[in-house]
Amino acid sequence: MSPALPEGDPAPADGALPASATVGADARRFGVYLHVPFCAVRCGYCDFNTYTATELGGGASLAAYATTALAEIALADRVLRAADLPTRPVSTVFVGGGTPTLLPVDDLARLLDGVRTTWGLAPGAEVTTEANPDSVTPDGLQRLAAAGFTRVSFGMQSAVPHVLATLERTHDPARIPDVVRWARDAGLRVSLDLIYGTPGESLDDWRRSVEVALSTGVDHVSAYALVVEAGTRMAVQVRRGELTLPDEDDQATKYELVDDLLTDAGLAWYEVSNWARTPQDASRHNLGYWRGDDWWGVGPGAHSHVGGVRWWNVKHPRAYADRLGRGLSPAAGREVVDAATARLERVMLGVRIAEGLPVADLAPPARQAVAGLVADGLVDPRAALGADGGERRVLLTRRGRLLADAVVRALVD
């Protein structure tokens, strides 16, 4: 079961934005997220808004999906124009899911062409699709590159069969080096996503997964601690005692290990859970989220943010297709972020990235808390003092990354 949508205000039927959304728009980049809600099977730990490819029909089906999503892109263009927002070419496109590469390559190309035709792509735009290792072929990756995709993010998760089995992942881990090579041969940048803390995963299992990822020569790795969400099959297995979750010390040890291995291999952290070989290899789309840029999320359950206005689409693909078929916005609700919430989010997101958060952005009481965080070894002392001649910044140490939530609480309470 995917998570419930947030509570919020009713969204206007035409999707119209308030005048406040235009304030400062020239200084913000504009990205597009395209949600493809289909998977071949549903993994036991997953609570994303996904559906198996064969269980939906009509305008919500796999075959009709690209046409339906293009209708939302057309609506987005009308809404942004009506709000008098400046015309901004799209800096980043991210196709996520689900398993986007279950769509035919021609449909993925149509979606990207719809974005390109509607708003244009900025020079050097980053265009990413997620993919499962068993959902791509060399020819398909070549065709994605020819269509304008620049990057692919593979859901590797683990290189250890028993860990993948617990996660209910279906791909053969031996396929990972092949798909990375195929993508790089096509001229695509490649990221591998890993998960640590699966029940039954040993430290040696985790080391093996990271070392296999590095052996491919990949230039970007995301490593996330497994979070078991209520309503998933794995949550039921844990509740019944069929699976035992690792403790916090195990999670911390695995984070330290992946950080050591990736750093030694020349990949630097740029966000708490993300490492890249060079700044150019970082995910610019995700950095847009963490920096507070604008983006339009297309698809059932997708979230959008433009100028401090946040909204989310209806979750079910049938309801999504029905709303668009009637010329209505698929938005289920929205909120206009107030100044206090914006400051909180700036702290929550800003401290997670390696560029750090300017101390000047903090409220006066929070600025006083920085010295205590330095003393506790959670914040880098040189950055906090502006020792290199730059502005003072809150930059997490590795211990601070492990306790990022505690740092945020100290800066906002």
Tens of pLDDT, residue by residue over 208-259, are 999 999 999 999 999 999 998 888 888 899 999 999 999 999 999 999 999 9
State the average pLDDT over residues 105-109: 98
What pLDDT, on a 0 to 100 scale, did the predictor assign at position 400? 98
What pLDDT, on a 0 to 100 scale, did the predictor assign at position 387? 85
Of 269, 291, 313, which one is at a domain's C-terminal end? 291
As a three-state string, the secondary structure of 34-63 is EEECEECCCCCCCCCCCEECCCCCHHHCCC
96 by Cβ neighbours in 10 Å (0-12 / 13-18 / 19+) ranks as buried
Residue predicted with more confidence, 125 or 170? 125
Residue 395 structure tokens:
């930059």
Of 236, 262, 291, which one is at a domain's C-terminal end? 291
253 and 188 within one domain: yes
287 and 185 within one domain: yes
Mean pLDDT rounded to a whole number for the chain: 94
State the average pLDDT over residues 30-47: 87
Residue 392: pLDDT above 50?
yes
Instruction: Quote the distance between the C-alpha of residue 102 and its chain's center.
Output: 19
Of 261, 291, 321, which one is at a domain's C-terminal end? 291
In a domain, 7, yes or no: no
State the average pLDDT over residues 92-109: 96
Q: Measured between alpha carbons, how far is 357 from 408 in angstroms, rounded to an integer?
A: 11
Query: Which string of DSSP letters, residue by residue, matches 188-239?
Result: -EEEEEEEE--TT--HHHHHHHHHHHHHTT-SEEEEEE----TTSHHHHHHH
User: What is the extent of the structural domain holding 371?
Assistant: 338-413
Residue 201: pLDDT above 50?
yes
What pLDDT, on a 0 to 100 scale, did the predictor assign at position 3? 60
277 and 361 within one domain: no
392 and 265 within one domain: no
In a domain, 63, yes or no: yes
State the average pLDDT over residues 104-118: 98
What pLDDT, on a 0 to 100 scale, did the predictor assign at position 232? 87
In a domain, 166, yes or no: yes
390 and 253 within one domain: no
Q: Measured between alpha carbons, how far is 274 from 198 in angstroms, rounded to an integer?
A: 19
In a domain, 13, yes or no: no
Residue 4: pLDDT above 70?
no
29 and 139 within one domain: yes
State the average pLDDT over residues 278-298: 97
Band (130; pLDDT cuts 50, 70, 90) = very high
232 and 100 within one domain: yes
234 and 380 within one domain: no
Q: Which residues pair with 30 in a beta bridge?
A: 294
394 and 281 within one domain: no
Band (44; pLDDT cuts 50, 70, 90) = confident
In a domain, 303, yes or no: no
Residue 355: pLDDT above 90?
yes
Name 218's Cβ contacts closer than 8 Å, sequence gap at least 6.
180, 190, 191, 192
Please state, in angstroms and as integers, the Cα–Cα distance from residue 286 to each residue in 33, 191, 282, following that order.
10, 13, 9
Instruction: Choose among 344, 376, 338, 340: nearest CA to 357.
Output: 344
Q: Give the three-class secondary structure for 94.
A: strand
What pLDDT, on a 0 to 100 scale, did the predictor assign at position 1? 41
**CATH number of the CATH domain containing 53:** 3.20.20.70
State the average pLDDT over residues 369-378: 97
pTM of the model: 0.95
373 and 286 within one domain: no
Q: How many domains does the chain have?
A: 2
What pLDDT, on a 0 to 100 scale, did the predictor assign at position 49? 79
In a domain, 59, yes or no: yes
In a domain, 306, yes or no: no
Q: Measured between alpha carbons, how far is 332 from 9 in angstroms, rounded to an integer?
A: 9
**CATH number of the CATH domain containing 380:** 1.10.10
Band (58; pLDDT cuts 50, 70, 90) = low
Band (314; pLDDT cuts 50, 70, 90) = very high
In a domain, 77, yes or no: yes
Question: What Rg, from alpha-carbon coordinates, does the chain have?
Answer: 21
Assess whether the previous peptide bond of 98 is cis (omega < 30° from 0).
Answer: yes
172 and 37 within one domain: yes
What pLDDT, on a 0 to 100 scale, did the predictor assign at position 59? 65
216 and 151 within one domain: yes
